[in-house]
Amino acid sequence: MTDRDDFLTWVRTDLQAAERALHDGDPAPRRALWSRREPVSVLGAWYNALGQEDVDTLFTALAKRFSGCTSYRIEVLSHDVVGDAAYTACFEHISTSVDGEARTYTLRATQTYRREDGAWRVAHRHGDLVQA
């Protein structure tokens, strides 16, 4: 397997599982996959965050809004790996409860990653709702 193939496998397994957990109310798996080195940032569909403290606060706030995730799927549109840096451009197809109300929606998300101690870590996320 190539580095690119290994990265895509990680996205489709570990990253997808962590995102599903967040949409089921558990922020810990997502946080575990994020970099602990600065800079980190989120330009999100609902909230923005800059720096470790803001990112941690954001993930906790998001998890409190989500519960009962019945489906979460990453559709990778584009990705690449160059050395210890990578990116993904994806659609995220989600069925979950938001503030107790069942919802199904799609996010458009671009993320950047860096390899730290041999493991991929998310450094930046930009996501927004796909409007019908």
Check residue 131 and give its pLDDT.
84
- Judged against a pLDDT cut of 80, whether residue 132 lies above it is answered with no
- Judged against a pLDDT cut of 80, whether residue 41 lies above it is answered with yes
- Judged against a pLDDT cut of 80, whether residue 1 lies above it is answered with no
Instruction: List, for residues 59-113, the tens digit of each pLDDT value.
Output: 999 999 999 999 999 999 999 999 999 999 999 999 999 999 999 999 999 999 9
- For the chain, the average pLDDT equals 97
Residue that the structure tokens 């930046």 belong to: 124
